Amino acid sequence: MRHVAVIGAGPGGLSAAATALGAGAHVTLVDAAEQPGGQYHRAPAPEFGATRPDRLQHGWRDFAARRDQVLGHSRCTFLPETSVWALEGADGIPVVHVLTGPADGAGRRRRTIEADALVLAVGAHDTMLPFPGWELPGVVTAGAAQALVKGERVAIGEQVVVAGTGPFLLPVAAALLGAGSTVRQVLEANRPGRIAAGWGARPWQLAAQAGKLPELAGYAATLARHRVPVLAGRAVVAARGDGRVEEVVTARLRDDWSAVPGTERTVAVDAVCVGHGFSPQLELPVAAGCALRAEPDGRRFVAVDADLRTSRPGVYAVGELTGIAGAPAARAEGALAGWLAAGGPDRPAVRALRRRVAAGRRFADRLAAAHPIGAGWPGWLRDDTVVCRCEDVRYRALRLAADQDPRVAKLGTRAGMGPCQGRICGPTVAALRSAEAARRRAAAGTAARGGNPHHRPIAQPIRLGELAAAADTEHSEEPS
Amino acid sequence: MSSRAIRPDADVLGRADRPVTILVDGTPVTGIAGQSIAGVLLAAGRTAWRYGPTGGARGVFCGIGVCFDCLLTVNGIPDVRACRRRARDGDVIATQSRAAAPSTVDDNEAGGEPEPPAPATTPSSVDGAR
Ligand SMILES: Cc1cc2nc3c(=O)[nH]c(=O)nc-3n(C[C@H](O)[C@H](O)[C@H](O)COP(=O)(O)OP(=O)(O)OC[C@H]3O[C@@H](n4cnc5c(N)ncnc54)[C@H](O)[C@@H]3O)c2cc1C
Ligand code: FES
């Protein structure tokens, strides 16, 4: 019997587990969280005693049915509260190193999993561009605001501005309204012409194909009912406050996201939620040796074929790792990859899945075209703007180091050397460096050196004591 | 105070809360069982609990364990992500700082006030430094 290890139990990973079980495999499903669901189906904690968990998200019933079917299956081993901190091995299927126990605790249980195929489904995090004051408490990512409402039943503020780019701003605003907050404005940085051109003709058909239409229509209706102004071509270019955010400065943007002077307005807030799209969590795919592909704008994803195979034999990648297209697309990809990873035969149903995966891919392409990040955003920065949050590295220091070798600049400024290891600032620093290098007409190519910014030998923090302790000798979750 | 929990009677989920109480720098803070430590702090209206290298206050930023802005010390173990760690009754929490202790401030505890941020914590975890 084949043994498929699925890393991540969001929409993509849970679907993969379901079809792999359907194809007769033994499945080990691993997630760092205590419950499956990922970012989209973030479930209220059981301790809340919620009688209506279906009220917070679309498709809850289907999700709950799939979850119960997977977790209750005799061939499924679910490992909750289990972080994959490394993938190892140059030949064959990488060995999965996991730690089980409370997040960042000491003395978590260490073990390894060896499988016949691996499905990576670890999702994404918000992309966030810096602006003056973004480090103030009360400034959070759009995803954080959403996660706090869904998972904690907490509203991040009473008077909130939601800003950035992409349709994800709508569910965030709707969730805040549902939490009783006042959403003062929703700001989409891209201008209407760009958005329309990006989506192309009849975007609703595309959204319908990708399974997103009813959901998006629902959020738009909620915002309209609450009379929340949704403004396109405007952004939060600064946050101000004493010890926490008290007001934001918004400005009208040109197509390239440079601010139009004289269009600044201030809005009093006690929280601001910003998201400029999503960045895939590439540590594990990179550790597995999977090739990446670059979008025209430079964003990187795992390169997969039409069957979600990565360049590493036996390793599949699904969901946000392969492109940003939302939960329905992640589910379709997971379903196809899980089935194939388990050695399931090609059938008409599989061909139908391939068509759904292709529809998701088209949706991802248009989404990226309609909501790009404009190259002019560094104009929002001032010399003293924090760029690397962990090490408090300011824009000025980075500019001064722009023509140094990336490694030297990293050591000199400490950008990217703090606890997050460049997860938040890495792409930003790279973009600023190449912009600065271009501005100075420095020798072409210098900004491109410096290796893969997603390479982190250790994907999740592990305490030195845990590293020193031997892994469990039971060694693998071999199917019996 | 502006971050807050959704009132159970106004919650579409139909919650039946049980309280959970943690000790934060010596002060009891009560939240809802099931919340993360970040959730408990935010529900109590507290948005910051860490100080960055140049002294700025920090709290939750990414909400999902990526940014490490929300670190604190839990039951003596430093550098725990508050957004990822479930709050347990009686957890003893200390806020953290990476700021250098201001040289002009006297370090004695006579006042009983929470001390200004302690000096940088020893790194207790490794995370792929190159
Ligand atoms: C904070 C946040 C909130 C979001 N909220 C919404 C929303 O409300 N609505 C919406 O339409 N879209 C939302 N999204 C977008 C969302 O990413 C997709 O809609 C969808 O959830 C993607 O599915 P996925 O299966 O690819 O990944 P995810 O749903 O992200 O699932 C990935 C899973 O992998 C686990 N994982 C990651 N790394 C590891 C590791 N090293 N070891 C073990 N487990 C690991 C995570 O715990 C997670 O459960 C959100 C995104 C973010 C970042
Ligand atoms: S808020 Fe980012 S790690 Fe906790």
Single pTM value for the model: 0.91
A447 — pLDDT class (breaks 50, 70, 90): very low
Q: Which helix (H) or strand (E) holds B79?
A: strand B77-81
Is there an atom of ligand 2 within 6 Å of B83 CB? yes
Rounded CA-CA distance A248/A268 in Å is: 7
Beta strands in A245-400 (DSSP E): 247-252, 265-268, 271-275, 278-280, 292-294, 300-302, 315-317, 386-388, 393-394
Across A36-61, average pLDDT? 89
- Assigned CATH topology for domain A3-124+278-344: FAD/NAD(P)-binding domain (3.50.50)
The pLDDT of residue B119 is 38
Rounded CA-CA distance A220/A230 in Å is: 10
CATH number for the region A129-275 comes to 3.50.50.60
Residue A375's contacts (CB-CB under 8 Å, 6 or more residues apart) are A256, A257, A435
Q: Return the residue matching tokens 């270019």.
A: A237
The size of the A-B interface in CB pairs under 8 A is 214
Give pLDDT tens digits for A407-427: 777 777 788 888 888 888 887
The pLDDT of residue A440 is 67
Q: Does B63 touch chain A (CB under 8 A)?
A: yes
A465 — pLDDT class (breaks 50, 70, 90): confident
Which positions in chain A touch B4 (Cβ < 8 Å)?
Answer: 154-155, 158
The atom number, within ligand 2, closest to the CA of B62 reads 2
* Structure ipTM: 0.92
A425-456 b/e (C-beta count within 10 Å ≥ 16 → b): bbbbbbbbbbbbbeeeeeeeebbeeeeebbeb
Residue B21's contacts (CB-CB under 8 Å, 6 or more residues apart) are B28, B29, B30, B31, B89, B90
- Give one word for B38, left, alpha or beta, with left for phi > 0 and alpha for psi -120 to 50: alpha
The atom number, within ligand 1, closest to the CA of A82 reads 43
The answer to whether the Cβ–Cβ distance between B48 and A244 falls below 8 Å is yes
Is there a common fold for A3-124+278-344 and A129-275? yes
A 10 A CB-CB count for A317 gives: 31
Residue A399 has pLDDT above 90, yes or no: no
Start-end of H helices in A240-318: 283-287
Across A65-79, average pLDDT? 98
Which positions in chain B touch A462 (Cβ < 8 Å)?
Answer: 125-126
Give pLDDT tens digits for A83-118: 999 999 888 999 999 999 999 998 899 999 999 999
Burial class of residue B109 in the structure, from the number of CB atoms within 10 Å of its CB (0-12 exposed, 13-18 middle, 19+ buried): exposed
Nearest 5°: CA angle at A322, between A316 and A323?
Answer: 165
Q: Where are the domains of chain A?
A: 3-124+278-344, 129-275, 381-443
Rounded CA-CA distance B128/A284 in Å is: 13
Catalogue all structural domains in chain B, each as residue range(s) with its CATH number: 16-95 (3.10.20.440)
Which of A59-63, A73-77, A210-214, B51-55 holds the top average pLDDT?
A73-77
Is there an atom of ligand 2 within 6 Å of B67 CB? yes
Q: Does A403 touch chain B (CB under 8 A)?
A: no
A129 — pLDDT class (breaks 50, 70, 90): very high
Across A383-404, average pLDDT? 87
- Which of B28, B47, B13 shows the shortest CA–CA distance to B90? B28
Start-end of H helices in A188-259: 192-199, 203-209, 213-225
DSSP state of A320: G
DSSP state of A324: -
Residue B86: which of A102, A137, A244 has the nearest Cβ? A102
